[in-house]
Structure 1
Amino acid sequence: MKKRFFLAAMTLLISMGAFAQGNGIGGITEATNMVTSYFDPGTKLIYAIGAVIGLIGGVKVYSKFSSGDPDTSKTAASWFGACIFLIVAATILRSFFL
């Protein structure tokens, strides 16, 4: 009785391992294709966000400059740095993952 149970358990474990290996590579390939298909629209979206932030920053810096605020250079540097960070981050992520 114990031999039959042991034999049935071993057969079940061996057959489960065989079934598990069949679709793993296909699933990983499909997931990779799905993730990489989002990089082009995502990169363009980040560039667009950077452009909008640049325009908003330009308006803010201009308004501070026009009003004679002494803190204009600090504001310009922070807005410009944010735009450069977004552009560089999008480029590095794209080159790293693709």
Structure 2
Amino acid sequence: MKTCKRKSWGKAQKTAALSIVLTAAYLLAKAQDGNAGIQQANTQVRSYFESGTNLMYAIGAILGLIGAVKVYSKWNAGDQDTSKVAAAWFGSCIFLVVVATIIKSFFGL
């Protein structure tokens, strides 16, 4: 009957095993720092939402004013497509306001 002898690890195998363990420990430590970085990025991006939604409200107001002037000038000129232009401008303003409101409510700001 053949007996199994346990071979001892050589210097190269011990070095490889140690490097694997140290690499795993390093990656675990880096992953914890990565989570903190992701949380910091999340906080930073959320801080921009308020400014972004306010900007969308401002753009909607400016589009509303421009659209009102264009519709008024078309109406005074007697153009036939005044209602179509008014609907397009009004729709774009409503779209921007609704998107800004949805972003605020979706992200809980």
What's the TM-score once normalised by structure 1's chain length? 0.89
2:102 to 82, 86, 92: 92
Deviation at 1:11, TM superposition (A): 2.1
Structure 2 gaps of 5+ residues are: 1-10
Instruction: Report the counterpart of residue 67 of structure 1 in structure 2.
Output: 77
Q: Tell me the amino acid that sits aligned with residue 76 of structure 1.
A: A
Instruction: Report the counterpart of residue 31 of structure 1 in structure 2.
Output: 41
Structure 1 vs Structure 2: percent identity of aligned residues?
50
Q: Tell me the amino acid that sits aligned with residue 38 of structure 1.
A: Y
Task: Tell me the distance in 2 between the aligned counterparts of 1:96 and 1:85.
Answer: 16
1:4 to 14, 17, 31: 14
Deviation at 1:66, TM superposition (A): 0.2
Report the secondary structure of 2:39's partner residue. Answer: helix
Worse-matched range after superposition: 14-23 or 42-51: 14-23
Deviation at 1:41, TM superposition (A): 1.1
RMSD of aligned Cα (Å): 1.4
Task: Tell me the distance in 1 between the aligned counterparts of 2:73 and 2:28.
Answer: 69
Deviation at 1:12, TM superposition (A): 2.7
User: Number of matched residues?
Assistant: 98
Structure 1 gaps of 5+ residues are: none
What's the TM-score once normalised by structure 2's chain length? 0.81
Larger Rg: 2
Task: Tell me the distance in 2 between the aligned counterparts of 1:87 and 1:65.
Answer: 25
Task: Tell me the distance in 2 between the aligned counterparts of 1:22 and 1:70.
Answer: 65
Answer 1 or 2: which has greater helix percent: 1
Instruction: Report the counterpart of residue 54 of structure 1 in structure 2.
Output: 64
